[in-house]
Amino acid sequence: MTADLIHAGLGWPTATLLIAVSFLGSFITAAFGIGGGAVVLAALATLLPAVAVIPVHGLVQVGSNAGRTYLFRREIYRSAVGPFLIGSLIGIALGSAFVVQLDAGTLQITLGAFILWSVVSRPPAFLRKSAALTGAISSFLTMFVGATGPFVATYLKSIELNRVQHVATHATFMTLQHLLKTAAFGLLGFAFAQWAGLIVLLILSGFMGTMVGRRVLFRMNEAWFKLVLNGILTILALRLIYAGGMDLWGDR
């Protein structure tokens, strides 16, 4: 295998930076419950061609979240997994049908505003009580804006799991969602093969980040975890609103 096949033609300095970011992103999500996917997405958006960002991010997140799911498998809130999967299938199917027709900027602002609302208040009862609806909405959105982990985290936060259950169940949900999204992009014609070497490296470094983050999570108390989780959700929501605003009005 030539170097170009391993680093997808980006060069080793860029590939090494992405490998380090993947480690950091997985560490953040394993330790604090959310945030790592957005960190990785931001790096990919800066360094990869625009058409490759969301598909590559999706497949990297499949590997990263699958590793977390395995490590935390005993703590998964299993009763919500089936409904979430059904909802995700519906959301991905709808998102695939409209993937080039909806405005990403508007969706980002709406998603960011909802996440901010969930931090200062509670999501509406119909959403708090429905893993299926959470799966459908977040999976639809992920076809356009990539990292919808914060939206999923608002549902998990509302049902008041402990910190380890939160991380375990979030990882399971996101593994399913990103796997479905990756399959959808494959059916839509995205060529994953040229990115395969880099994706493997990012997944491996992400798994190492998860193992380190897991140690931090087990040493953290519930109050600190909730405080950090709300702080990260707020930052990510503001970033989504800013990115959506720039997309809609940045060139005016």
Give the number of other Cβ atoms within 10 Å of residue 86's Cβ: 14
- One-letter amino acid for residue 227 of the chain: L
More confident residue, 122 or 197: 197
How far is it, in rounded angstroms, from Cα 167 to Cα 156? 9
Tens of pLDDT, residues 47-101: 888 778 778 888 898 999 999 999 999 999 999 999 999 999 999 888 877 765 5
Which of 68, 66, 22 is closest to 44 using CA atoms? 22
The predicted model scores a pTM of 0.83
Q: Where are the chain's structural domains?
A: 10-244
How far is it, in rounded angstroms, from Cα 136 to Cα 85? 9
Which pLDDT belongs to residue 12?
80
How far is it, in rounded angstroms, from Cα 117 to Cα 111? 10
* DSSP assignments along 29-60, one per residue: HHHHSS-HHHHHHHHHHHHS-HHHHHHHHHHH
Tens of pLDDT, residues 2-56: 656 676 667 788 889 999 999 999 999 999 887 888 788 888 878 888 778 778 8
HSE of 58 in the Cβ direction (CA atoms, 13 Å)?
Answer: 26
